[in-house]
Structure 1
Amino acid sequence: MAMTSVLNNQGRPEVVPSTPQLSLAGVTKQFGTSGFVALDGITIDIPQGQFFVIVGPSGCGKTTLLRILAGLDTHSAGKVVVNRTDEKRPVNSMIFQGDSLFPWMTVFDNAAYGLRMRHVPEAQVTDTVRSWLERIGLWRFRDRYPSQLSGGMRQRVSIVRAFANDPEILFMDEPFSALDEQNKLLLHEELLRIWEATKKTVVFITHSVDEAVTLGDRIMIMTANPGRAKAVLDVPFPRPRNVLELRQKPAYGDLVFHIWEQLREEVQRARQNAEGGRV
């Protein structure tokens, strides 16, 4: 039977029965006394093992929502339910947009960081990290430092660090946005291959509609500020997926176009808001 942890708007746990791995009910975020509302009434269920993608214009509250789900920030109203399946494992790991590796640590030590923080026996740490670095083709770079790696290689180490820690939920905040298209394509393939082997619950933020359709099982389109759920769409393509083959399918282009049609209005509203115009 699953164990359920609920964070109220003070960040304190409550116990509530639930079946989804993540469940949001009316989640709202208002900052301080300014009255600025970043999120307004987000309600969504995310099943265990689903690759859930959030796409929306800049400033719509995507990262704020992810931080609330990860327990790094609190919400002002509503509930966030995290349905645990194994309390011995960490609840979540997070991969950030920028380079989040420790520059003074080697590739091996960066990948081992989460396991060592949990005081996993060193022999198990070595076996686990070696397995993951070999799987992603980085074992021979284990003694190098982040400054000696390309941007794509550093993000691969970040992915290894997150998956090696074996969390129940993986949060990813635009992890590939700083990479060129070639590296991004390779990392999409790498991430899909690793995810297929682990079937972890993933919540992934992106600005890219192509990336959302390539990776996701389900996509939530957010409105311009204040962030609301404008639409939630299923991605109908079977797994495993070959990235290049998928993008050649007419249905792929149709879905990308459909999502962009819904997103374009929100991007225009976000631009008007940023320029101080009237919506």
Structure 2
Amino acid sequence: MGAETAAVAPTKRQDTDVKVAVRAVAKRFDTRSGTVTALDELTLDIPRGQFFMIVGPSGCGKTTLLRILAGLEDPTTGEVEVGTATEGRPENSMIFQGDSIFPWMTVWDNASYGLRMRGVPSGKIREVVGHYLDKTGLTAFRDSYPHQLSGGMRQRVSIARAFANDPDVLLMDEPFSALDEQNKTLLQSELLRIWDETRKTVVFITHSVDEAVTLGDRIMVMTSRPGNAKAFVEVPFERPRDVLELRHRPEYGDIVYDIWQQLRDEVERSQQAQAAAPARRGRFGLRRGGR
């Protein structure tokens, strides 16, 4: 194997149609058990303003890819090109799976955090944060602390904070996975309403094929580890979308079924690899398989 070079930072892309370009990106981690390849020569384009969904089996590198897009990880090889951020906006904001708001801050202070760190004038902060607290149904809870809120409401704060900060790219790592079905459906609807206003470029990871079809413009189905693109699926439904009405349509069930057919083999391969890993031990009982 030849020498490997890591892209130290994402380069800027001037193409007005493509917001994020991933070029032959691989990511390998050195562990006590050996080298683990999370991503393997992944290439994709995400157009500006697209709601891009990623589905794949556990451990296929979805979150690793998102962290590379966020600048939190460097690829081992390959590069990521991100369109030049609009002046005065941050390049990206990330919403995580679990609670990621500050427990010592009120709803208002959490939602306004990014704007305050950027030195936005107080009048503009009041206008923008007030707008997104209203959109997420949090106006009456502006002075509440996270421990006084339900899990669904805390995720609403995360959404309000991300949109208020007005990033060029919004990165979302399974933000609704811990919620019950009712709260998940409500937050999907709220997210779609807010996105319809802004049409930001969104990269959203989910394990739910239903969620991917409900929210997305295009879906990348990933292979089992090492992760790569198995298929890209265009979602044909018009916008704006009503979450419940959409799921009543016969063609909705058809596209969900088709994606599951493509995903099923990868999930089975992932499960088989995980089941086999504990059996791979050396002479002294030390595991040689991946974690």
TM over 0.5: yes
1:5 corresponds in structure 2 to none
- Structure 1 residue 85: Cα displacement: 4.6
Alpha-carbon RMSD across the aligned residues, in angstroms, is 1.5
Q: Which stretch has the larger CA shift, 102-111 or 15-24?
A: 15-24
Query: In 1, Cα distance between the equivalents of 2:7 and 2:66?
Result: 17
Cα offsets for 1:72-128 (capped at 9, x unmatched): 100011110001251321000000000111100000000011111111122221221
What secondary structure is seen at the aligned counterpart in 2 of 1:271?
A: helix
Query: In 1, Cα distance between the equivalents of 2:204 and 2:135?
Result: 22
What secondary structure is seen at the aligned counterpart in 1 of 2:170?
A: strand
1:184 corresponds in structure 2 to 184
Corresponding residue to 1:29 among 27, 49, 66: 27
Query: In 2, Cα distance between the equivalents of 1:13 and 1:117?
Result: 23
Judged with a 3 Å threshold, the aligned counterparts in structure 2 of structure 1 residues 244 and 16 are, in CA distance, closer, same or farther, namely closer
What secondary structure is seen at the aligned counterpart in 2 of 1:239?
A: coil
Amino acid at match of 2:15: S
Q: Which runs of 4+ in 1 moved over 6 A?
A: none
Conserved 8 A contact 2:48-2:201: yes
- Structure 1 residue 16: Cα displacement: 5.7
Conserved 8 A contact 2:10-2:80: no
Q: After superposition, where does 1:45-84 map in structure 2 within 5 Å?
A: 45-84=45-84
Conserved 8 A contact 2:57-2:266: yes
- Structure 1 residue 135: Cα displacement: 2.0
Amino acid at match of 1:256: V
Conserved 8 A contact 2:22-2:42: yes
Conserved 8 A contact 1:107-1:157: yes
Which is greater in Rg?
2
Is 1:241 matched up with 2:241? yes
2:282 corresponds in structure 1 to none
Conserved 8 A contact 2:10-2:81: no
1:172 corresponds in structure 2 to 172
Cα offsets for 1:55-78 (capped at 9, x unmatched): 001000000000001101000111
Percent identical pairs in the alignment equals 63
Query: In 1, Cα distance between the equivalents of 2:168 and 2:53?
Result: 17
Q: Which stretch has the larger CA shift, 131-140 or 43-52?
A: 131-140
What secondary structure is seen at the aligned counterpart in 1 of 2:137?
A: coil
Query: In 1, Cα distance between the equivalents of 2:214 and 2:241?
Result: 8
- Structure 1 residue 130: Cα displacement: 1.1
Query: In 2, Cα distance between the equivalents of 1:221 and 1:265?
Result: 11
What TM-score does the superposition give when structure 1 sets the normalisation length? 0.94
Conserved 8 A contact 1:26-1:41: yes
Q: After superposition, where does 1:50-129 map in structure 2 within 5 Å?
A: 50-129=50-129
Q: After superposition, where does 1:179-218 map in structure 2 within 5 Å?
A: 179-218=179-218
Unaligned runs of 5+ in 2: 280-291
Q: Which stretch has the larger CA shift, 133-142 or 197-206?
A: 133-142
1:137 corresponds in structure 2 to 137
What secondary structure is seen at the aligned counterpart in 2 of 1:257?
A: helix
2:6 corresponds in structure 1 to 9
- Structure 1 residue 17: Cα displacement: 4.6
Cα offsets for 1:13-61 (capped at 9, x unmatched): 5466534100011011011373211000111100010000000010000
Amino acid at match of 2:227: G
Conserved 8 A contact 1:18-1:81: no
Q: Which stretch has the larger CA shift, 268-277 or 74-83?
A: 268-277
1:231 corresponds in structure 2 to 231
1:271 corresponds in structure 2 to 271
- Structure 1 residue 167: Cα displacement: 0.3
What secondary structure is seen at the aligned counterpart in 2 of 1:99?
A: coil
